[in-house]
Structures are given as structure tokens and as C-alpha cells.
């Protein structure tokens, strides 16, 4: 069994832990407990300790080559709860291999997810319903993409793909509940692809978005 702890510093020295609004940070190559490549825990690097775990061997994703790989039958879950009631910023570096799957969700409460519907559409869902954001014409999710999804005080959502703000927006209020990576309630739409890093904040600002985009681009 191995536990991976990485001390790398992002370009420019900024870290998610510099932000008081940090809810959870699943950091590249860090806090990963694995045995034979099978991941049983990905530790939250924020002070909130919302670690993502999987005790069932058959549902454990695999770690290797600096990423955690999910095959559509695997997921990680927390006994803790992330609740984003207003502004939020979520950044992630992923590689999607099959669409129609959940990146972040709640596996205990229905209607909470961030899901990739196809190679041009990301879906955000709360108890208030669904909103979709479509990529700019000629743009697709392809390969190793880094993204930042934000919601402001007017419940408007924006998406940056590889540092580029997309024109389309979505609008959806109500709390966003997250207690799992790669699955939504209950045990469906499991993610297929790789995840390098996920950062979750309960605030939104231009500076924060810029810092996350810069950090993820350097991974």
C-alpha cells in the first residue's frame, strides 16, 4: 500500500489554501492511498477534511501516471458534505473518454450533479432543476482539458475551457450538494476518464478564476 504526498508549488506560488473560501482540494498526486494501483482514499488538502474514499475494491478507481482513472463502475465518496449555497468556483483538470457521465455529484441526494452530456455540453443540476452550458462553436471537450465553472450572486454560471471563457451561460439557483467524485444518486452515471485535480471554493472572483486557470494549466 502506498500513500502519495506531493509538495509541488504552482507557478507564481499561489495555492488554493491561500483562499479562505476553499471548501475542498483534491490535489494532483497528493493524499492518495492505493494498493496495487487501486485507490481507497483521496484526501482533501483543505482544512475541512472532506476526504473521498471507496472501501469496495470493485468500485475503486486506479492511480498511475499522475492521474486517477475511472472506468464507469468506480467512484469515490465522502461521509462529509460540501454545500455551495451561493457563489462558487470549481476548477478541475480531467480527460473524458466517454460522455453522459458525472464528474461531481451527491450519491445520497438526488438532483445534484455536474455532468458532461456530450463533447460540447456540460450540465449543472440542483433541486431547482437543470441548466446546460454549450461550448463555443467549433470547440469540444477533447484530451486533457482544464476547466473552471463559476456561479455568481445572480445564479449565473460561466465556464472557462483551457483558459478561454465560453460565450454561453447557464442560470440555476439552490444549494449544490457534493459528496462524491464520479457518481450521482444513486450509484449511476459513473465517470469514465481520468482526473488529475479538483478544487472547490464557495466564492467567485476574477482573481480566483485567473489563479486556478494558471495553476491547472501548469500541471
pLDDT for the residue numbered 6: 61
- According to the model, what pLDDT value does residue 79 have? 95
The predicted pLDDT at position 49 comes to 97
Average pLDDT over residues 74-102: 98
Does residue 1 register a pLDDT over 70? no
Collect all residues with Cβ–Cβ distance below 8 Å to 50 and sequence separation of at least 6: 23, 24, 44, 78, 80, 81, 82
Between residues 127 and 5, the one the model is more confident about:
127
The whole-number pLDDT of residue 62 equals 98
Task: Examine the pLDDT at 76 and tell me if it is beyond 80.
Answer: yes
What local confidence, expressed as pLDDT, does residue 13 receive?
A: 85
pTM of the predicted structure, to 2 decimals: 0.96
Could you tell me the residue ranges of all domains in the chain? 79-217
Question: If one looks up domain 79-217 in CATH, what number appears?
Answer: 2.60.120.200
Residue 5 has pLDDT above 70, yes or no: no
What are 12-39's pLDDT values in tens digits?
689 999 999 999 999 999 999 999 999 9
Per-residue model confidence as pLDDT tens digits over 104-123:
999 999 999 999 999 999 99
Q: Rounded mean pLDDT of 187-198?
A: 98
* 127 close to 176: Cβ distance less than 8 angstroms: no
Amino acid at each position: 500500500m502506498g500513500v502519495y504526498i506531493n509538495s509541488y508549488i504552482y507557478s507564481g506560488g499561489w495555492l488554493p489554501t491561500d483562499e479562505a473560501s476553499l471548501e475542498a482540494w483534491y490535489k494532483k498526486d497528493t493524499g492518495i492511498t492505493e494498493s496495487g494501483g487501486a485507490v481507497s482514499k483521496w484526501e482533501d488538502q483543505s482544512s475541512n477534511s472532506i476526504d473521498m474514499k471507496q472501501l469496495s475494491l470493485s468500485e475503486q478507481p486506479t492511480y498511475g501516471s499522475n492521474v486517477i482513472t475511472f472506468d464507469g463502475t468506480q467512484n469515490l465518496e465522502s461521509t462529509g458534505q460540501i454545500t455551495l449555497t451561493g457563489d462558487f468556483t470549481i476548477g478541475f483538470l480531467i480527460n473524458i473518454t466517454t460522455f453522459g457521465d458525472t464528474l461531481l455529484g451527491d450519491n445520497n441526494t438526488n438532483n445534484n450533479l455536474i455532468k458532461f452530456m456530450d463533447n460540447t455540453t456540460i450540465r449543472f443540476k440542483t433541486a431547482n432543476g437543470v441548466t446546460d452550458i454549450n461550448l463555443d462553436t467549433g470547440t469540444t471537450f477533447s484530451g486533457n482539458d482544464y476547466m473552471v465553472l463559476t456561479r455568481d450572486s445572480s445564479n449565473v454560471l460561466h465556464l472557462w475551457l483551457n483558459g478561454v471563457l465560453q460565450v454561453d451561460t447557464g442560470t440555476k439557483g439552490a444549494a449544490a450538494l457534493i459528496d462524491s467524485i464520479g457518481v450521482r444518486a444513486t450509484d449511476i452515471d459513473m465517470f469514465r476518464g481520468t482526473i488529475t485535480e479538483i478544487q472547490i471554493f464557495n466564492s467567485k472572483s476574477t482573481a480566483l478564476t485567473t489563479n486556478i486557470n494558471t495553476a491547472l494549466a501548469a500541471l
